[in-house]
Amino acid sequence: MQHVEFTLQAPGGVRFYYQGWQPDSFPLATICLVHGLGEHSGRYAHFADALTQAGYALLAYDLRGHGRSEGGRGDALSYEVLLDDIARCLDEAATRYPVTPRFLYGHSLGGGLVLNYALRRRPPLAGVIATSPWLRLAFAPPPVKLTLARSMSRLLPSFAQSNGLNPEDLSHDPEVVRLYEIDSLVHDRITARLAVGTLDAGEWALAHASEFALPLLIMHGSSDRITSAEASRDFARQVPSECTFKLWDGLYHETHNELCKSQVLRFAIDWLKSRGAREPVSQAVLPQMLTSNLSAR
């Protein structure tokens, strides 16, 4: 496996931290990863390891306002700006791996983002994976809190408060919870405009699920106390194209970080393999392409 880190500057001046992993052979496909609220791309290193062993490359970035990327913590000027950031990652993947199919993978906030991106931008992708997508929350926010958030999103949109996430709701694995709690790159901030924009985008996606046109895998834990597994099921039921919905019995929010994570990752990789792959690149071309693709920008 080979690993690279680099930064890219977006219009407006925000600098994004990127990292990528690829197998020693030229990848069968490239997966672009969009992580969840408050976390960062480094928490997916074990997923990258599983993917590269299976022959896939993973390209990830820290969302604006997250991890090593710039921006106010837990903030974005709009939901559309976050979709623009996904487009930039996909363009970078196309530049680095021009002959490989591209997939989008998103978790939680990122899961809602990749579903919305596919619906609104209609990209030419090989498929989408969404895990525990934030389409709806697993609980009903108090009406007073929702009213306040909508008011603040108009009056003071960058107003930030705790997202209220309980780390023990992430996984049954106590080590995952411990590492999350001591991770200096993790934060618990979310601004009024990001909260309202994400809630509205989830409802929009559910209303337009019947327009989803790409192969799709949605996975959710049945005991998720953060995002709604039932909303994921409702979305999947409406998708007219190829859609696989996998409900993991008893699992919490981060299915890829649960005690049975090897089974979860294997299911995702088997789904990727079912989507097919390009013909292998000749060995004469391979070394030059690997060197070029791994050079930081």
- pLDDT tens sequence across 262-275: 999 999 999 999 99
Q: Which residues are catalytic?
A: 108, 224, 253
> What is residue 138's DSSP assignment?
S
Sheet of 15-22, strand order: 2-9, 15-22, 57-61, 30-34, 102-107, 127-131, 216-221, 243-248
Token representation of residue 170:
């992430």
Tell me what pLDDT residue 288 has: 39
Contact yes or no for 31/103 (Cβ under 8 A): yes
Structure token pair of residue 280: 């292998």
What tokens appear for 289 in the block?
A: 């392409």
Question: Taking residues 83-90, what's their average pLDDT?
Answer: 98
Per-residue confidence band for 33, with pLDDT thresholds at 50, 70 and 90: very high
The pLDDT tens digits for 66-81 are 999 999 999 999 999 9
Give residue-wise pLDDT tens across range 135-164.
999 998 888 788 888 898 899 999 999 999
Q: How many domains does the chain have?
A: 1
Residue type, 262: S
CA distances from 105 to 44, 61, 175, 189, 257 (A): 11, 12, 24, 23, 15
**DSSP H helical ranges for the chain:** 45-53, 79-96, 109-121, 143-155, 174-182, 192-207, 229-238, 261-274, 286-294
**pLDDT 10s digits, 37-62:** 999 999 999 999 999 999 999 999 99
> What distance lies between CA 170 and its chain's CA centroid?
15
Rounded to 10 deg, the angle between the 79-96 and 192-207 helix axes is: 70
Containing structural domain, residue 97: 2-294
Residues 6+ apart with CB under 8 A from 109: 34, 35, 36, 37, 63, 134, 198
Beta partners for 218? Answer: 130, 245
Answer yes or no: pTM beyond 0.85: yes
pLDDT at 180 over 50: yes
Residue 289 has pLDDT above 90, yes or no: no
Residue 14 — pLDDT band, cuts 50, 70, 90? very high
Query: At 89, which CATH number?
Result: 3.40.50.1820
